[in-house]
C-alpha cells in the first residue's frame, strides 16, 4: 500500500479554492480543517463551505473537526457526504457512540489525539474507528514544527493494528514535509496531512508525488 497524501487546504488560496482543489487531483483525499475559535484559537469554515468544497473537489473529503461539542456537530459533516470525519477525543463525551453514528451515516469515523493526549485508553477501542489521527503539532495553526515526541504514540497504535489485523488508517497532521514524513512512516503512519509541503512552490502534483515516494521508501526500508 503506497502512502496516502491528504493535502490540507488551509495552505490553499481561499479566493481560488476550486482551482487549488483541481491542482491536487492526484492526492488521495483533501484534508479540510474545521475550526471553531473555541476548541482551538482559530476560525476556518463551517458546514456551508464544506458542502461547497464537497461539490467541487476532485478527490474525497477528509474532514478534521477541531471543534467543541463534536457529539452534536460531527454527524452533520457526514451527512454532507464527507468520505471521512475525524473528531477530537478531547471534544467528545462518547467517542464510541459518535463513531458509530458517523459510520451509520456512511462516513469513515476518525478520532484525533492532541500531542498531550495519551493513546492507551483508545487502543482497546480501535475496532470502533476507521482512522486515528495523531497530531504532530498542537492543533489550531499551520506552519508549526513536527513533534517527534509524538512517535511512541504512533508506534503503539501501529503495533495494536498489526496485532488485531484491523483496517485502521494511522494519520499524522502537523509539520509534515519531505524531511519529516519518513520519520512518521517508519513509526507506522500510512496517511499524511501536508499543507505548505504540497502547496508551496508551483507544482502541487510533483510535491504530492515526492511526499508519497519519501513515505513509501521509509516504510519499505524498515
> Catalytic residues, which ones?
33, 173
Mind giving me the DSSP string for 49-117?
HHHHHHHH-SS-EEEEEE-S-HHHHHHHHHHTT-SEEEEEGGG-S-HHHHHHHHHHHTPEEEEEE-TTS
Of 89, 163, 186, which Cα lies nearest the Cα of 129?
A: 89
Cβ within 8 Å of residue 160, ≥6 positions away:
123, 126
Chain centroid, CA 208 distance in Å: 15
Amino acid at each position: 500500500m503506497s502512502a496516502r497524501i491528504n493535502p490540507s487546504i488551509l495552505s490553499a488560496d481561499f479566493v481560488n479554492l476550486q482551482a487549488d482543489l483541481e491542482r491536487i487531483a492526484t492526492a488521495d483525499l483533501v484534508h479540510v480543517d474545521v475550526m471553531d475559535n473555541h476548541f482551538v484559537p482559530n476560525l476556518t469554515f463551517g458546514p456551508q463551505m464544506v458542502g461547497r468544497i464537497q461539490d467541487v473537489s476532485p478527490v474525497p473529503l477528509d474532514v478534521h473537526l477541531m471543534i467543541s461539542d463534536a457529539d452534536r456537530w460531527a454527524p452533520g459533516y457526514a451527512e454532507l457526504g464527507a468520505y471521512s470525519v475525524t473528531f477530537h477525543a478531547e471534544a467528545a463525551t462518547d467517542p464510541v457512540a459518535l463513531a458509530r453514528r458517523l459510520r451509520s451515516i456512511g462516513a469513515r469515523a476518525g478520532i484525533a489525539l492532541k500531542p498531550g493526549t495519551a493513546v492507551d485508553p483508545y487502543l482497546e477501542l480501535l475496532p470502533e474507528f476507521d482512522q486515528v489521527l495523531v497530531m504532530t503539532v498542537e492543533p489550531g495553526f499551520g506552519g508549526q514544527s513536527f513533534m517527534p515526541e509524538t512517535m511512541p504514540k504512533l508506534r503503539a497504535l501501529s503495533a495494536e493494528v498489526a496485532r488485531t489485523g484491523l483496517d485502521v488508517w494511522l494519520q499524522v497532521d502537523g509539520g509534515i514535509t519531505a524531511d519529516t514524513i519518513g520519520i512518521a512512516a517508519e513509526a507506522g503512519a500510512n496517511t499524511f496531512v501536508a499543507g505548505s509541503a504540497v502547496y508551496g512552490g508551483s507544482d502541487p502534483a510533483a510535491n504530492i508525488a515526492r511526499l508519497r515516494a519519501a513515505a513509501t521508501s521509509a516504510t519499505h526500508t524498515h
